Every structure is written in structure tokens, then in C-alpha cells.
Structure 1
Amino acid sequence: MTHPRRTRLALFDLDHTLLPIDSDYEWGEFTQAIGWTDPVEFKRRNDAFYAHYQAGTLDVHDYVRFATEAVRLRGPQAAAEAHERFMREVIRPAMHETAHALLRTHREAGDTVVIVTATNEFVTRPIAQAFGVEELIAVELERDASGWITGEISGTPSMREGKVVRVGHWLAARGLDWSDVETTFYSDSTNDIPLLERADHPVATNPDPRLRALAAERGWRILDLFSETE
């Protein structure tokens, strides 16, 4: 008796995985550069939040309120125009061919490609589109009656264990569960250990030192995607 082949999913973290930069942090730096935020106080707080993220101690709700405040106050049109400039000046120059080639390999193999990121949807949806990835699981932002963001998170944030939860929701919305799919997950960060452990094929990608050591200990594949271009 033959069993149906499981759907193959290629899941990718975004920051320091497909990109050699942190798009969330860089967006904050960009808002300083265009005069949307106080250059001293914003940088102090942005750096502090980033340090907490790296240490695995970030309060994502506090961070999203902070990170989206300038966007929320400026409104949809100004935000969209600023993001277009951000893509042009910051993101596209950081989109390396090695990342495009890896995504292309999975598409050509017939895998479903999904970006799963702890960065919010405002920052990341245009980036996913620029990579040609239609399926994005990101921190979803609550919206008011007019449809504009409030600064709060809607639903479960896709961070740490929340990534496993959100991928589970994504599967359920398509009539699937974990047993129906064969998953490969690429990530650089120990924040993503829960989803790396849940994946059939974890790949420590441009890993931070702690993840590199863990991957070596557990026999996970290690991929230095930008080693030849950085």
C-alpha cells in the first residue's frame, strides 16, 4: 500500500536568514534618518529592544507599540511612501542572489515557500513580495475602524513558540496539520528553536554562536548563506 506524499513546506525566517540585516531594526534606523523620530532617544530605545531580542527576553507587545508609533502617527499615505524609499535604499541592496537562489531551488522542487518572521507585517510584506514569496506569517497588527494600525498586536505574535502556533494556524486554514507536511525551516536565531525543533529538517542559517553550537551538537544542517558575499 502506498501512502500519499506529504506536502513539502520550506519555511524561512527573514532577518539575518534571507536578509543579512534585521529589517525591523533597520526600519527604526530609517525613521531616524528621515526625521520621524528623535535621533537620540529613539536610537537608545531601539538598541535596547534589539539587545533584548538577541538575548531572547524581548517583550514583543512593548516593542511593537514602540516600533509602529511613528508609522501610526504619520498615516497610511506617508507610511507607504516612506516604505517604498526604505525598500529602495535599504532592503533591495541587501537582497543577495544567494538568497534568491535558495528560494528558487525550493520553488523549482515544488515546495510551498513561506516566510515566518517576528517582524511586523507593515515592514515585511513588501519584502516578502520582493523575494517573490506570497505566503507570509508575520506579527499581525490590530487595526481601528478606519483600517489603520493601532500599535497593538492582533492574535498570537509569530515569535519564539508563537511561530509554531502560527504555522499550525496556517496549516489548519488549509485543511492540513503537521502530519500532512514535510517541513524544512531556515533560521539564524535561538529565538526560533521551538520551530526548528518542530521542523522535519531544521537548517541553522547564518546562525548566531549559540545556535551554531546547538546545531553542531544536534547534527542539524548549518548553512552560511552569505559567507561568499558578505
Structure 2
Amino acid sequence: MRYLAIYDMDKTITRAPTWTRFLIHAARSHAPWRLGLLPLAGLASVGYLLRLLDRAGLKQATHRLLIGRALSPEALEGLGDAFAETVVARGVLAGARKRIAADRAAGYRLVLATASHRYYAAAIAARLGFDDVIATDARRNVDGHVLSLIEGENCYGPAKLRLVEKWLEAQGIGRGEAHVRAYSDHVSDAPLLGWADEPFAVNAHEPLRRLARQREWPLLDWHGGAD
């Protein structure tokens, strides 16, 4: 039997969402003039709220505005590493660190499954001792430069479960061969939580709290540093 612990990242492990913070970090570090485009990024967010853009479209639009159409992988890796240092130093919940350590000690393979882009999520995961990362991937051009476009699916909602299942298949692990724990703060991860053997609603917002009560999923609060 394989033992897997699958963690969402934003507001499950981290204190706050990371995407906008990463965009501002990247613009400030790489091209400060792009900070002047923040109002346009705000308009894109309004477009999402009005359902003129989906989540993937919003991510692509804000990436293009604040990072640019294309960036070398080396430059983006540097931005991701610097951002990860900041997040891990001050933005990770103590309760999350405790649970990650406990799962590791219990022999679980630690998997981060996040809608965040791999180019910074992987750097955060590495610093926290995760074994594998399932994340949103960016498309690359023929020169290998990272584009603002998403490659494949945005790792969110039902797509996250599909990508987890695809990852399992690539690892040669059948579902019946794995015992899975899953942790998330958001109801969008209900497909993944329902699929897991041990689902945990962590720091849950009200829609997930209601669902967790209905399905008798444990509710955890990691803000105080204790489970």
C-alpha cells in the first residue's frame, strides 16, 4: 500500500493567497514599470467576477500584464525562488508545518496539489519538504521561454482531481494501491476531498464547512499552530 498526503497550498498551508503577491513581487523585481499596470489587472479581476473571464483566463491576463508575454526560465526561476523564501519565512501556518512533519514521520509521500503556477509553487514545496508537485503549468515557446499562457488545465476544482489521477497513473500507482489523505480550505476541492480516503477541511470557509458537516469530514484549524 502507498500512503499519500495531498495538500492544497493557498490558505491551507499559507496564511494568504499567493498569486497576486507573486505578481507584485515579480513586477517589482523584474520590471517595476509594470506595477503601473495593476489597475488593469484589477479590471481583469472585475471581468472574472462578471464571468467575462474564467479563472484560467484571469491568470493568463494578469501574468501577461505584470510578468510579460514571455520570460526566460532562468529569470522566472530566480523570481520564484526569492518569492518562496519570503513565503516560507513568514507566510506558512505553524499548524500546517506540524501536520506536514507528522505525515512525513508516518511514512506518507507528500504531494502539493495547487492551482498556483508550478514556477513558484515548486520552490515553496521544496522548502517545505514535499516529494511531488501537481500544479498549473505554463506554456513555453520554441526558445524555451515561459509564456503567459497555460499549458493544459488550470489545476483547480474538478481539474485538480483529474491531474492528481493523471499523476497517479504516471507514477504507476493504481487507486486501489494507495491510501490518500487530502487537505484543503476551499469547497472547489470537494471532488478531491470526496475521492480521498481521509478528507480534511482545513481553515475552511463557510461553504466547505457546511459540506464537511454534511459528509462528516474532520474540520481542522491550523491558524493557531495546533490541529
Q: Deviations over 1:128-157 (max 9, x none)?
A: 111111300000111111111122222233
CA contact (8 A) 1:115 1:137 kept: yes
Q: Which amino acid aligns with 1:75?
A: L
Structure 2 residue 104 is matched with structure 1 residue 119: no
CA contact (8 A) 1:29 1:43 kept: no
> Residue 61 of structure 1 corresponds to which residue in structure 2?
56
> Residue 3 of structure 2 corresponds to which residue in structure 1?
8
Q: Which runs of 5+ in 2 are unaligned?
A: none
CA contact (8 A) 1:189 1:208 kept: yes
1:72, distance to aligned residue in structure 2 (A): 4.0
Q: Deviations over 1:166-216 (max 9, x none)?
A: 111111112222221111100000111111111111100000111011111
> Residue 93 of structure 2 corresponds to which residue in structure 1?
96
Q: Which runs of 5+ in 1 are unaligned?
A: 1-5
Q: Which of 55, 62, 71 pairs up with 2:67?
A: 71
Q: Which of 214, 217, 223 pairs up with 1:220?
A: 217
Q: Which of 183, 194, 202 pairs up with 2:191?
A: 194
> Could you tell me the percent identity over the aligned residues?
24
Distance 1:73 1:172 in 2: 33
Q: Deviations over 1:43-67 (max 9, x none)?
A: 5246547x75xx9997133123123
CA contact (8 A) 1:56 1:191 kept: no
Match of 1:138, SS state, is strand
**Pairwise mapping of residues 131-170 of structure 1 onto structure 2 (< 5 A)?**
131-170=128-167
Q: Measured at CA, do residues 208 and 162 of structure 1 come closer, stay the same or move farther in structure 2, by a change above 3 Å?
A: same
CA contact (8 A) 1:114 1:137 kept: yes
Select between 88-97 and 121-130 the one with higher mean Cα deviation.
88-97
Select between 114-123 and 91-100 the one with higher mean Cα deviation.
91-100
TM-score, normalised by the number of residues in structure 1? 0.85
Q: Measured at CA, do residues 29 and 189 of structure 1 come closer, stay the same or move farther in structure 2, by a change above 3 Å?
A: same
Task: Work out the number of aligned pairs and report it.
Answer: 221
> Residue 200 of structure 2 corresponds to which residue in structure 1?
203
Structure 1 stretches of 4+ with a deviation exceeding 6 A read: 55-58
**RMSD of aligned Cα (Å):** 2.6
> Residue 129 of structure 1 corresponds to which residue in structure 2?
126
Q: Deviations over 1:71-105 (max 9, x none)?
A: 34473344344334323444521123322221111
Match of 2:153, SS state, is coil
Distance 2:28 2:149 in 1: 25
Select between 83-92 and 102-111 the one with higher mean Cα deviation.
83-92
Q: Measured at CA, do residues 91 and 46 of structure 1 come closer, stay the same or move farther in structure 2, by a change above 3 Å?
A: farther
Q: Which amino acid aligns with 2:168?
A: L
> Residue 39 of structure 2 corresponds to which residue in structure 1?
41
> Residue 3 of structure 1 corresponds to which residue in structure 2?
none
Q: Which amino acid aligns with 1:59?
A: D
